[in-house]
Amino acid sequence: MSYVYVFLTIVLTVYGQLIIKWQAGIAGPLPEATAEKIGFLVNLLLTPWVISAFLAAFLASMTWIAAMTKLQISHAYPFMSLAFVLVLILSGILFHEPITSPKIAGMVLIVAGIIVGSQG
């Protein structure tokens, strides 16, 4: 069950990042004037989707706490790097962001690091 908690932490974290990117893209660029920036960010923070991203972050914290009751942090934390891999892949699919050779090489290194770091 402890790995389920780690997996849920990763999924919830990725969900939050993708939702915030999606909503920020819809909202458009951040205004230049300070007062306009504050209003822009407050309006964005109050959208239901962004609220759901914050809820996901809270739930990710709860599942991480549950995982920490069962696993050593030095064993579990490397798996959190899978969030980088998933966000990169999903940003290419959902937002048509480029997945370049250096990014693919980085993903391979991250996965290799997870494999090595989670041993023992």
* Element housing 65 (H / E): helix 48-68
pLDDT digits (tens, 9 = 90+) for 4-62: 999 999 999 999 999 999 999 999 999 999 999 999 999 999 999 999 999 999 999 99
pLDDT digits (tens, 9 = 90+) for 87-96: 999 999 999 9
* pLDDT confidence of residue 27: 96
- Number of Cβ within 10 Å of residue 105's Cβ equals 10
Cα–Cα distances (Å) from 3 to 20, 32, 78, 80, 112, in that order, read 26, 44, 12, 11, 19
pLDDT band with cut points at 50, 70 and 90 for residue 120: low
3-state secondary structure of 1: coil
Cα–Cα distance for residue pair 90/31, rounded to 1 Å: 27
